[in-house]
A and B are shown apart, each in its own frame.
Chain A
Amino acid sequence: MEIIISNSSNIPIYEQIKEQIKSKIISEELPEGEMLPSIRSLAKDLRCSVITTKNAYEELEKEGFVKTIPAKGIYVAKINLALAKEEAYHKLENILTTAITQAKMNDISKKDIIDIINILYEEVL
């Protein structure tokens, strides 16, 4: 499993960890039932604090992506992939709505928006 953390990003580190694990679960790179590293060993390997990885796992658990079995470990939970994808689409729609509102306020055409998306799509890793 690969997790890449940016210390200079404005996104809190626990959120970066959470999002990356989540996307690996959605893409089924981490299949259901797979055991995840413990809070402490993940913190050590990512060189971050224990509270950070704890927060990440807690949020993942709240959203139903992982489950903790006491005294055993943390496992990828059974998730409804369709639902998870739907949620991802929903998020994307929200972000795009903001972008389009901004564009309309500044008289930027639909074609320009699509052009920008095309360029950015290639640029963003």
Chain B
Amino acid sequence: MLGFIKKDLAMVKSNFKLLGILVVVYTLMGLFGEMDISFILPFMSVMLMISTFSYDNYNKWESYSATLPNGRKNSVRAKYIATIIMTFIFAIITLLLSFLISYINTKTIPYEQTLISMLGNIFGTLLVLTFMYPIIYKFGLEKARIGIFLIIFGLVIIGGFLSSYLDLSFIGKTLNFLGKYIVLIIIIITILMVYLSYKISIKIYSKKEF
């Protein structure tokens, strides 16, 4: 399976330049700007991984990889693992940069706050993976792009509708109540989510015809 992961990582290798530029932009924004864009690196890494699907598709890697030993299962598994690896690498880079930026700006390092914000970023990034990958495996990248757009659009409308007609203060209260455990809960939810998504993808993929 290691071979499949190497293949996926090799595919984003050519885009490392772009990520390098983002690192610089992020640092400059942190030093001189106001906006928090700490989500950008982990998020871009998952976006790059999603773009590998279209290269795979173009050269029909899916049907070729199915002929390799354990190819069906391993190519799906590798996509998940490679994405998680990428997300973590860039989350850690972001974390270190944030420490650095804070230190330069204020001579103090807000460890806890930065860590939580990074956790939030990882959660958000893996949420994209959780929804996108099974859809991509089922319907292909093109349709999945439209699908994800509709999902986000729908969520915004529903969210807007709910917040204007309902009293949502209970969410804040619940979060306050959960307090310290919130970190643990987010981690558990993330792991469960990704695992479930992976299982669904495997199931979809194992029935595919090439």
Whether the complex brings A and B within 8 Å at their CB atoms is answered no
